[in-house]
Structure 1
């Protein structure tokens, strides 16, 4: 006997709740980063994340399965961040609501970039000393292929091939890291 998966519309409430919980658990790190960008304080981001998690789980029935869960969760987290700022307005080192709005807009623009950068940093840390040196010469120092070849005592073509392999390896590593973060 073959089981047929239910379409989203036919899910019962417990299945919908389970889906919300799984998605929420899977995006804790991304939500924390988002809140950290907005609030600029890791402790505040952790506090607001916990408050947002509570609200998200209480209001799980407001989420429509199949729609953009990340956008829904971020909007709740954003509202919790605003509430946090409002509640602590008298404290000297808390951003104003306007600053939080501006930082949220910047976080929206840089969101994918920040995950990409974290993944790239991780992958760069995995490189051998020689490979990392080539990457730094080329991209940090701006050395040309010929300059690198002269400095390393190798041919230009061997430097090109090495850089090509390193870039291909970094791309694969970054894609794997991003897939792990998003799953």
Structure 2
């Protein structure tokens, strides 16, 4: 018996498809796909969530001092003249950051091997390019899904059958996080 389904694709195509669907599932919480794909995506997503649950509290909080540019009411940087040149004005700010311990850092890098980067684009037309943000899915796994599933041993996803697809009669399902 095979360890995985080939899904009628070559290895690089299959890996890209599964990575894409796992990323979409973790970002949106649910996806609509075929039954065979859903069963494969479920394995990968379950593994990633299990790693995140195991390492969710494995960090230390560190206080660091950062130089941050001073901004005016419009959000633009404040400039000052020093020796005849315009220079951005900075202020020192103390921040608390989470510093990963070695095992959590290793898990973070393993998760990043699977997930694609996600960019959030706002729906309103004005300033769409300027307001895009990269979403940190690994932080979402550690901070949101880790505590949510900490008392659960597997079974993080649910498959709900939707019925046959109109074009090719493939069984369509909804794969969602429990």
TM-score, length basis structure 2: 0.25
Judging by fraction of residues, say which structure has more helix.
1
Judging by fraction of residues, say which structure has more strand.
2
TM-score, length basis structure 1: 0.25
- Considering Cα pairs closer than 8 Å and 6+ residues apart, tell me whether 1 or 2 has the greater RCO: 2
